[in-house]
Structure 1
């Protein structure tokens, strides 16, 4: 992903990316997006990058020896600190739908921001909403007060977040609406597709925003919109 595409992706929301992927593919039916409502630590926050994946648990204490858990935790942090950038931390909570352990709060958001990650996407729990690292958005499945017995189970494997399968290295775009995985084959044309989408939508906005129009005017604008997006 070149800098120009990264800048464009950072400037738009996830629904725009979702629509633009269909423009790039030339058809409806793109399906690699999260389902259901997710919560955002920063309503304006957008994260773009290659997935660094992991899985956690927190409802029950780990059964492995403490030194094993500690070693895995540090290996996890080393993994998150490494790899291609830009990158997004993607963590599945294996306790969902009964997740109680907030791995994402003041401490871990500051650590992962310091590693150069762009944000966290998780189906698990976040907390410390007033103290999350500035400029480090978290899109999560829920909010709660406790960290429970949170521990890393594994990392660098495929995860599933709100119905979306994500592999390590997938290009992810996420914000308060949820997340998408950008198909590899559309990356070369995605910037152009976003620009095409925005130009076509502007035809409708120019016709209706802040105005009162009749159906005949709308029909003309809509025809021009449909012609521009195909």
Structure 2
């Protein structure tokens, strides 16, 4: 299980941050490849995903073996803590692996999870939307994973939509996309992002007063 040694106010950051500014900050810190491919989208564009990664790796498996094919998946969901985000790597985009649905959503909500992120498919989308739970996905489809894929490992580094995700990384997603902030730089990245957003707020006010863009940019240095 990922240990959360970051002191981030998730409720505040969910209200204040945005993916675009976080991506800009990561560029400035020498991490230009932390935004997921744009096929990963929220079920609801109003959703904000903000929390710490718990990872699971799915592999294709076309033969139903003995035992519980959901065992590792269930272990991950049952061990979620408040503020954590199950991050499910399915080698997406895919049209065959739908690991997430209403019941996993319900179980995750009961444990205080902050949402779900996967490059695989989701199903039961009407009910998930009714639950108002942030789910970012690689597509929508009805197929169960049983007999098609199985979560083989959990809490190991995984690649999702061309971004490496490690347990405990800070995950932020909104209508612009999903950004993964490595836990080693999360405190600094979040601080710089909040500072930039404050500068953007000041820029916006000056622009609304009619000041020239070039003058305002020279004053605050953000665009």
Report the TM-score, using the length of structure 2 for normalisation: 0.81
Which structure's CA Rg is the greater one?
Answer: 1
Q: In the alignment, what sits opposite 2:115?
A: 119
For the residues of structure 1 that align with 2:120 and 2:159, how far apart are their CA atoms? 11
Q: 1:163 to 1:43 in 2, by over 3 A?
A: same
Q: 1:9 touches 1:17 (CA, 8 Å); kept in 2?
A: no
Match of 1:108 among 91, 104, 109: 104
Q: 1:83 to 1:126 in 2, by over 3 A?
A: closer
Kindly report which structure 2 residues correspond to 1:1-230, keeping only aligned pairs within 5 A, or say none. 1-2=6-7, 4=9, 6-11=10-15, 12-22=17-27, 25=29, 30-57=32-59, 61-63=62-64, 65-67=65-67, 70=68, 73-82=70-79, 85-94=82-91, 96-132=92-128, 134-147=131-144, 149=146, 150-209=149-208, 213=210, 217-226=212-221
Q: Secondary structure at the match of 1:208?
A: helix
Q: 1:101 touches 1:125 (CA, 8 Å); kept in 2?
A: yes
Question: Bigger CA drift: 118-127 or 100-109?
Answer: 100-109
User: Once the two structures are superposed, what CA deviation does each residue of 1:146-171 show, in whole Å capped at 9, x if it has no partner?
Assistant: 22534323222221111001122222
For the residues of structure 1 that align with 2:86 and 2:94, how far apart are their CA atoms? 21
For the aligned residue pairs, the C-alpha RMSD in angstroms reads 2.7
Q: 1:109 to 1:225 in 2, by over 3 A?
A: same
Q: Secondary structure at the match of 1:160?
A: strand
Q: 2:81 touches 2:113 (CA, 8 Å); kept in 1?
A: no
For the residues of structure 1 that align with 2:56 and 2:214, how far apart are their CA atoms? 50
